[in-house]
Structure 1
Amino acid sequence: MTKPTVAVAFGGRSSEHGVSCVTAGGVLGAIDREKWNVVALGITSEGRWTVASDDPGAWAIVDGALPTVADDGETVLLPVSAGNRSWRVEGHDGSIRHLADIDVVFPVLHGPFGEDGTLQGALELLDIRYVGAGVLASAVGMDKQFMKTAFKDAGLPVTPDVVLYPGEHPEGHIADIEALGLPLFVKPARAGSSMGISRVDDLAELEAAVAEAVTHDPKVLIERGVSGREIETAVLATETEVRVSPAGEIVTGGDYDFYDFEAKYLDDGDVRLLCPTTLPAGVADVVADYARRAFRAVGAEGLARVDVFVSEDGVVTVNEINTMPGFTPSSMYPRMWASAGVEYPELVQVLLETALERRIGLR
C-alpha cells in the first residue's frame, strides 16, 4: 500500500518562530519513515512558505541560539480547491513543480499566525486534515481573556485579572489593578512560551511591564499572582477517548522568579521538570478532572497541555491550556506521556492516525 504523506508545518510569523522550529525537529525525528512520507514545510518570519530540511538535526538549539527558517526564494503553493491534495512549488524563475500529494498536516506553529486558528482555517477551507485543535478551539486557547471566560463558564477556578484593551493605559484601571494585590503577572493576551510576561512586585514596575507585553500583543492581561506549585497535565484525545497523563511539575531555582522563556528553553541547570510528580491522591484527582474539563471547555481536539497552580492547602487554580504545546523530546508534554509508558514516537503516531480519521468539510 502507498504510504500516506504528512507535512510538518513550522516556523511562522510570531515571536515563537524559533521555538516552533525546535518543536518541528522533535516531531520530524519521531515520525516513522517506514509508515509515512514526510515533507517539511518551513514558514519564514516574513510568511513565505518554503520546502525545508526534514533532517531533525537541522532544527536544534546550538550554543543557545534558536533555529530559523531561511528564505530560499521558492514558494510552496497550497492546493487550488477543496479536496485537491496536490501541493506545488514555485521556483525562482516562476516555474511550477509538483511537491507532494499531502494527506495530513502536522502544524507545530506556536503563537499567532499558526496556533490561533488562522492556519487551521486555511486548512479547513481546503478540506485538508490536520493534527490538533480546530479553528474555534485554537483561537480561544490562544486568547487568554476568552480562554478564562470559557473556563469560568465550565465552573473552573481561574485567577482574577484586569484586561487592558489595545490603546488603554493601566492608569485608567488602577483601582481594579490595586485590588488584585501583589505580586502581579502582566501578560500579552495572545502569546505563548512565556513571551513578554513580567512579574510585578511594585506598582512602579507596572508601566514598564505593560510596555513589554504590548510588544507582543496590543491586548494585555494583568493577573493576580498565585502562590503554589506549577503543575502540568498532558491530554491526548482520539475519536473514542480523552486520556490524561500523570501530572508533571516545574521547579525553578537560581535567579528565576517564574518559568519564563529562558527557563523553558535555554537553561539546563536551574530548572527541574519532575515527571511524574507527587500530589496527594485527592489533589491529583482534581488536577486530572480539571484538565479534562478545560480541554472540553474550549473544544480542543487531539492534544493539549493544561497548566494549573496547586496551593499549600491543596487548592487547584487553572492557569491556561496550550493547544499546541512544546513538542521536543525534552518538553513536558511528551515527558509526561513517557512517564505513563507512551513513548515519543508512539505519541506522534497516535496523533497522526487520529488526524487521518478526522472529519473534513462540513462538521
Structure 2
Amino acid sequence: MAIKSIAIIFGGKSVEHQISINSARNIFEYIDKSKFAPIPIGISPKGDWFLKTTVDDTFEGCDPLALILSTQKPGFKNLATNEVITPDIIFPVLHGTDGEDGSIQGLLEAFELPFVGTGVLGSALSMSKLYSKKLLESANIPTSKFLTYTFSEKNTIDFDYLNATLGLPFMVKAANLGSSVGVAKVKSKDDFNKALEEAFRFDNVVLFEEYISGRELECSVMGNREPIASLPAEIVISKDYEFYTYEAKYLDPNAVELKVPADVDDVVAKQIQHLSLRAYKALGCEDFSRVDLFLKDNGEILVNEINTIPGFTNSSMFPMMWQERGISFTDLITKLIDMALTKYQEKQRVSNEYQP
C-alpha cells in the first residue's frame, strides 16, 4: 500500500499554542512512518504558516507557505522554493481558538481536503461552553447549573444574584477557551471582580457555573457510525490547587495523580461510558473526543465539557486511556487517520449539484 502524506498542523493564534506544539510533537514522533509521511506545518502566534522539518516553536528561518485555493488540487505552496505540497490528509492538532472551534475545519471542508477530527458544526458547538451545555440540557444529559453574560452586559452582572442562584463557591469561565485559561474559582465577593476581568480578557462571553464538589473523571470516545468509549480515568488534584488549573495541567509535575482506569465499580463505569457516548453524539463529534465529567459524592454523574482535539502530550489522558485498552500511541494515530479517510470517502456520495 502506498505511503500517504499527512500534514500535521500545529501552533496557531491561541493561548494554547505551546500545548498544541507538545501534542503535535508526539504525533510526529509516534506516527507509523511505514504507512504515513508526516509533513509538519506550523502556524506562528501571529497566524503565519510555515513548512517545518520538525515540530518545535521556532519559526524564524522556516519557509513560508501560502494556500493553493484550487478545488481541483488544493494544498500549499512553498513561497521560498515554489514547491507545491498536496497532502493526502490533514491532521489539525490546533487546540483552542481558530483550531478547535470550527475555523480550520471550515477551511478544509470548503476545499474538500480530508482531515482528522470533528467537522465545523460539532467543533463549534463543543468549543462553546455555553452552547454545548444548552445542547446537553436539551438532550437530557446532566450538567452543572450555569448562567451566562456577554461583555456588553458586564455592568449588569450582580454578585449577589449569582451567589443566590449558584451558591458559593462558583466558577467563572471564558466561554470559548480550553486548558483552564480564563477560569477562576470565586469563594467570596473579594475574588469576584478579578475573576470577571480575567475571563473577559480572553472572551466576550463568560459562563458562571455552580462549583461541583466531587471526583474529576474523563472518558475517551472514538468512532463514527458506532463509536466506542474507553474505561473512565480519574484526575486526582493536589490540595495545593483550588481546581484543575493550567499550571496543574502542564507546569507542575506533582500537581495531579492520573489514575487509568479510575477506581470506580462496573456500574458507575458503564454509566460514564453511556453518558459520554450520548454527549459525543449530541454535539455532533466525529472520529475522536475526550469527555470530561464529575462524579459527585452522592453518586450523580455530570458531563462538564467535550474536547474535540484532546491533548496528545506525555501527560494527556486521551492516549493513556486507549493504551490501557491495549491500543498503542502509534496504533491510535493510525486508527484516527483511517477513520477520517473512511468518513471523507463516505461523504463524497452527497451531491452538491442540482438541476431543476
Sort the TM-score into its range (normalised by shorter chain).
over 0.9
Which of 266, 275, 294 pairs up with 2:251?
A: 266
The alpha-carbon deviation at position 88 of structure 1 amounts to 1.3
**Contact in 2 for aligned 1:246/1:336 (Cα 8 Å):** yes
Which of 188, 208, 215 pairs up with 1:202?
A: 188
Q: Take 1:103 and 1:284, find their aligned partners in 2: how far apart are those partners?
A: 38
2:312 partner SS: coil
Q: Which amino acid aligns with 2:152?
A: G
Give the corresponding residue for 1:88. Answer: 77
Give the corresponding residue for 1:217. Answer: 203
Superposed, which structure 2 residues align to 1:1-363 within 5 Å?
A: 1-54=1-54, 58-59=55-56, 68-72=57-61, 74-91=63-80, 96-98=82-84, 100-169=85-154, 171-178=156-163, 179-238=165-224, 240-359=225-344, 360=347, 362=350
Q: Take 1:16 and 1:232, find their aligned partners in 2: how far apart are those partners?
A: 20
**Contact in 2 for aligned 1:44/1:71 (Cα 8 Å):** no
**Contact in 1 for aligned 2:52/2:62 (Cα 8 Å):** no
Q: Which amino acid aligns with 1:337?
A: W
Determine what percentage of the aligned residue pairs are the same residue: 35
**Contact in 2 for aligned 1:170/1:207 (Cα 8 Å):** no
2:83 partner SS: strand
Q: Deviations over 1:303-322 (max 9, x none)?
A: 10001100112100110001
Q: Take 1:85 and 1:35, find their aligned partners in 2: how far apart are those partners?
A: 22
Q: Take 1:72 and 1:182, find their aligned partners in 2: how far apart are those partners?
A: 51
Q: Deviations over 1:33-76 (max 9, x none)?
A: 1111110010000100101233xxx54xxxxxxxx352446421
The alpha-carbon deviation at position 114 of structure 1 amounts to 0.9
Q: Which moved more, 1:13-22 or 1:209-218?
A: 209-218
**Contact in 1 for aligned 2:2/2:35 (Cα 8 Å):** no
**Contact in 1 for aligned 2:221/2:288 (Cα 8 Å):** yes
Q: Which amino acid aligns with 1:153?
A: S
Q: Which amino acid aligns with 1:26?
A: N
Give the corresponding residue for 2:354. Answer: none
1:209 partner SS: helix
1:106 partner SS: strand
1:155 partner SS: coil
2:271 partner SS: helix
**Contact in 2 for aligned 1:52/1:69 (Cα 8 Å):** no
**Contact in 1 for aligned 2:176/2:203 (Cα 8 Å):** yes
TM-score by length of 2: 0.93
Q: Which moved more, 1:172-181 or 1:344-353?
A: 172-181
Segments ≥4 residues shifted beyond 4 Å: 360-363
Q: Which amino acid aligns with 1:118?
A: S
The alpha-carbon deviation at position 85 of structure 1 amounts to 4.2
Q: Take 2:249 and 2:48, find their aligned partners in 1: how far apart are those partners?
A: 28
Gaps of 5+ in 2: 352-356
Q: Which moved more, 1:68-77 or 1:305-314?
A: 68-77
1:351 partner SS: helix
CA 1:145 to 1:69, structure 2 compared with 1: closer, same or farther past 3 Å?
farther
Q: Deviations over 1:263-314 (max 9, x none)?
A: 1111111310100011122221211111000000110001100011001121
Q: Take 1:32 and 1:322, find their aligned partners in 2: how far apart are those partners?
A: 24
Q: Take 2:281 and 2:331, find their aligned partners in 1: how far apart are those partners?
A: 24
2:290 partner SS: strand
Q: Which amino acid aligns with 2:78?
A: V
Q: Take 1:144 and 1:269, find their aligned partners in 2: how far apart are those partners?
A: 28
Q: Take 1:69 and 1:248, find their aligned partners in 2: how far apart are those partners?
A: 34
1:267 partner SS: coil
CA 1:209 to 1:86, structure 2 compared with 1: closer, same or farther past 3 Å?
closer
1:169 partner SS: helix
Q: Which amino acid aligns with 1:263?
A: A
Q: Take 1:73 and 1:32, find their aligned partners in 2: how far apart are those partners?
A: 25
The alpha-carbon deviation at position 176 of structure 1 amounts to 3.6
TM-score by length of 1: 0.92
Once superposed, what is the RMSD of the aligned Cα atoms?
Answer: 1.6
